[in-house]
Structure 1
């Protein structure tokens, strides 16, 4: 049963010797085989259930509560539930005759199999896959603090008589989190522990995740829910508007994809693969269907490790930048309003930018951080509000091309940055939609704020009567011509 109390996780590296490394490697390999055996049994039961006469009869029934109830009863009769798969995993452990892991760890492996099967059955996810020897199992956890145990006084994880020392940083945060249980005012109940295996620069490293009850210690001072902010996410950045602050920020600014480096590594790997497996390819260079096992050279393995390490560093940097930006926003507002977007559409239309920034992952990170900080993230209906099209002055909607980055305020000469305008509208949106009266009232203050930030400007015209700001800010060709003109003037001055 899922716990209802809040939980937070503290991850710490483990210091293991050769004997402990062999013990952990052996236990994780047995956990992998146990996972595959449990998944095989579950898929077999699923196939037999779908081939039964009762399943076909139930499937032909009209949709409703009766049909759903019969499906649920049929699923339980075949043991395709969380408890059923936990029992199957423990039975496989007993039948193996091995004692590398205990019953509680085996039950957690069965629960992991159930979660993968549940996504396949009910959420439209792909069919669960078996874990190969090269991929392996990445984590093993217990059901409570009695199998994989964290001992505060020893500062270590104890599992099957193995004492795995923790490397704990000497900071106030970890002192508060891992407080001595002798002091009752600082006690935090340990729910369970998890051992995680990661590959860093081609080498296996071991970590312990201690799952504690309660909320984590506060390291940031977050704003109350009465402070409201509107944000408008884009492929590579977002605009935010608060009555006292507004701006444009980049998401994951420190992520450098280094596409050329990745491309070189991928080409080297492909050349090595083709040289070692000439019989796996057709004359036109395509891969033959159902080839034999691939041969992997040591050089190719090193290249794959280098590529994997590059992507791992990118993911870690991206996650760190997401956390910093989420804290930045939550320190200024406790209620954040955001459009409900399709981030898969972002991937289709802005592939490179979305790969670098991970906008969908950032929004998920923001929601988790807001829940932990007792804040709110309110998702708005983009199809009804049309914030990039609405003009409060005329109370009309006008669809803009993607290249139009500036919004004209009514029929005036005021130009507002398009994304910041959407964030401004999101900040003051109500349950009934746009509150035009309030928007016009708040605009006087917002105009001064945006003007100081350079996000709101008055339009200037050139000799031909064409607005210069529009030419400079909305026309890529005009911007390119302006740059070429400045460059030619600079060359003439240098010659003089």
Structure 2
């Protein structure tokens, strides 16, 4: 039976010898073939189900409970359920005659196939693809702590009689994470373990993820839910407003995309590909459609490894910065109100800025962190509230151009930074929308707070009744988290030719 208790993960590197490395490589290759075999069986059953007469008759029925029930019965009849695919994967394992992977791991492979097929069947996602030999399978897990077992007393992972040592840090955090809160001498219940394969600087590395029951140790002191904050995300940063503090923050400030270095690597890879495959290109330089195979030289492989390592370092740095900023916000407010935006639209309109910051990923990270910290993130309806257009002083809406970065408070000479003004409105939004009386009462305190931060200024209007041209806000004092750690790009790119980003 599926457990609904809280779960957190501890990831530790594995120290393996040559024999264990070969065993893991063979096991992951078997997992890949099981995945492809299960996916092929599932796609074949799906096609036969959709070509059957009962399915076509059910499709022509009017929508309702009877139609949904008949569809569900057809899926069960063809084995297109999670349990059905888990059984198929285990049957493929038995037919292979190999014992590199047990029944529990094969069932988890079937569950992974079901999740991909479910998105394709119901959510309109693309057709699931088979995993190639070069791509491979990157993780294998068990259903409990019986196949891939974590032994705390031996500080190792035991899988198929292979004892692999864990590189466990001697820190109080790890000891506190393993200890049971009721009986400190006992360890928490281990739900299951997962083996993960990653490529670091072109070399395969193995890690173990231990999934424990309960909540992780508290490293930060988070604010209660009674503390409310409003934030307004942008393509490269966000504005936040709390009754006691407000400011502008850059998202992922330590990420340096280094477009020139990426472009040079991509040009070298393209020249090598064209030199090794002259028959795959037309006379005008365009690639011929659907080439059978590509020749890849060793030089090209090394260049691809450098490019992949560079992007991996950027992703690790971005994730680290997202965690710092999420903790920074949750330490000041337990309830965060944010405007619901389309981050896919951010990618289309602000390509480079969104690629560097990953605003959509940060919002997802913030939601997960808030749920773990017993806080909440409330998404506001942007079409109804129109935070960037509303003026509480006149109770009117005025659409602003994107280049207009300051908001004039009514007919006065007060100018407020546009994003901070949206965060101020989001902070005081009620279930019924904008409460103008409350906003006017809170503005006296907010004006003094924003004036001290340089986010509010006074400027007279001109004779035509419009404000004079105001330069963009470039450098109010950007608030950053106090705790700073060494840049990951400096550490992870030490052996790469790409220059690491500055901390």
Q: Name the TM tier (shorter chain).
A: over 0.9
Residue 3 of structure 1: CA displacement? 2.5
Looking at structure 1, the residues matched to 364 and 158 of structure 2 have their Cα atoms a distance apart, in angstroms, of 34
- Do the aligned partners of 2:179 and 2:185 also contact (CA within 8 Å) in 1? no
Residue 2 of structure 1: CA displacement? 4.0
Looking at structure 1, the residues matched to 466 and 232 of structure 2 have their Cα atoms a distance apart, in angstroms, of 30
- Do the aligned partners of 1:152 and 1:180 also contact (CA within 8 Å) in 2? no
SS of 1:338's partner is strand
Q: 1:328-347 residue pairs with structure 2 within 5 A?
A: 328-347=328-347
Question: Is the counterpart of residue 457 in structure 1 residue 457 in structure 2?
Answer: yes
SS of 1:320's partner is helix
Summarize deviations over 1:284-341 as a string: whole Å, max 9, x none.
2222122121000000000000000000000000000000000000000000000111
SS of 1:473's partner is coil
Aligned residue in 2 for 1:292: 292
In the alignment of these two chains, the number of paired residues is 474
Summarize deviations over 1:85-122 as a string: whole Å, max 9, x none.
00000000000111011000000000000011011111
Summarize deviations over 1:452-486 as a string: whole Å, max 9, x none.
00000001579999956x333389xxxxxxxxxxx
CA 1:271–1:101: 2 relative to 1, 3 Å: same
Aligned residue in 1 for 2:159: 159
Looking at structure 2, the residues matched to 454 and 180 of structure 1 have their Cα atoms a distance apart, in angstroms, of 49
Q: Which structure's CA Rg is the greater one?
A: 1
CA 1:46–1:420: 2 relative to 1, 3 Å: same
Aligned residue in 1 for 2:272: 272
Aligned residue in 1 for 2:495: none
Looking at structure 2, the residues matched to 170 and 474 of structure 1 have their Cα atoms a distance apart, in angstroms, of 47
Aligned residue in 2 for 1:137: 137
Aligned residue in 1 for 2:115: 115
Aligned residue in 1 for 2:323: 323
- Do the aligned partners of 1:153 and 1:180 also contact (CA within 8 Å) in 2? no
Aligned residue in 1 for 2:128: 128
Question: Is the counterpart of residue 415 in structure 1 residue 415 in structure 2?
Answer: yes
- Do the aligned partners of 2:85 and 2:110 also contact (CA within 8 Å) in 1? yes
Question: Is the counterpart of residue 65 in structure 1 residue 71 in structure 2?
Answer: no
Structure with the higher helix share, 1 or 2: 1
Q: 1:435-474 residue pairs with structure 2 within 5 A?
A: 435-460=435-460, 470-473=469-472
Superposed CA RMSD in Å reads: 1.8
Looking at structure 2, the residues matched to 249 and 144 of structure 1 have their Cα atoms a distance apart, in angstroms, of 42
Residue 22 of structure 1: CA displacement? 0.6
Residue 172 of structure 1: CA displacement? 1.1
Summarize deviations over 1:200-233 as a string: whole Å, max 9, x none.
0000000000000011000000000000000000
Aligned residue in 1 for 2:220: 220
Segments of 5+ residues of structure 2 without an aligned counterpart are 475-503
Looking at structure 2, the residues matched to 190 and 368 of structure 1 have their Cα atoms a distance apart, in angstroms, of 22
SS of 1:248's partner is strand
- Do the aligned partners of 1:147 and 1:159 also contact (CA within 8 Å) in 2? yes
SS of 1:91's partner is helix
CA 1:180–1:331: 2 relative to 1, 3 Å: closer
Residue 56 of structure 1: CA displacement? 0.9
Indicate the larger mover: 179-188 or 247-256: 179-188
- Do the aligned partners of 2:417 and 2:473 also contact (CA within 8 Å) in 1? no
- Do the aligned partners of 2:420 and 2:455 also contact (CA within 8 Å) in 1? yes
- Do the aligned partners of 1:280 and 1:292 also contact (CA within 8 Å) in 2? no
Looking at structure 2, the residues matched to 454 and 419 of structure 1 have their Cα atoms a distance apart, in angstroms, of 13
Aligned residue in 2 for 1:82: 82
Q: 1:336-415 residue pairs with structure 2 within 5 A?
A: 336-415=336-415
Looking at structure 2, the residues matched to 444 and 191 of structure 1 have their Cα atoms a distance apart, in angstroms, of 53
Summarize deviations over 1:324-359 as a string: whole Å, max 9, x none.
000000000000000111100101111111000000
- Do the aligned partners of 1:416 and 1:457 also contact (CA within 8 Å) in 2? yes
Question: Is the counterpart of residue 310 in structure 1 residue 302 in structure 2?
Answer: no
Looking at structure 2, the residues matched to 387 and 67 of structure 1 have their Cα atoms a distance apart, in angstroms, of 43
- Do the aligned partners of 1:408 and 1:416 also contact (CA within 8 Å) in 2? yes
Looking at structure 1, the residues matched to 401 and 237 of structure 2 have their Cα atoms a distance apart, in angstroms, of 18
Aligned residue in 1 for 2:105: 105
Residue 196 of structure 1: CA displacement? 0.2
Aligned residue in 1 for 2:94: 94
- Using structure 2 for the length normalisation, give the TM-score: 0.92
Segments of 5+ residues of structure 1 without an aligned counterpart are 476-496
SS of 1:332's partner is coil
Residue 170 of structure 1: CA displacement? 1.5
Residue 409 of structure 1: CA displacement? 0.3
Q: 1:159-198 residue pairs with structure 2 within 5 A?
A: 159-179=159-179, 183-184=183-184, 187-198=187-198
SS of 2:347's partner is helix
SS of 1:471's partner is coil
SS of 2:286's partner is coil
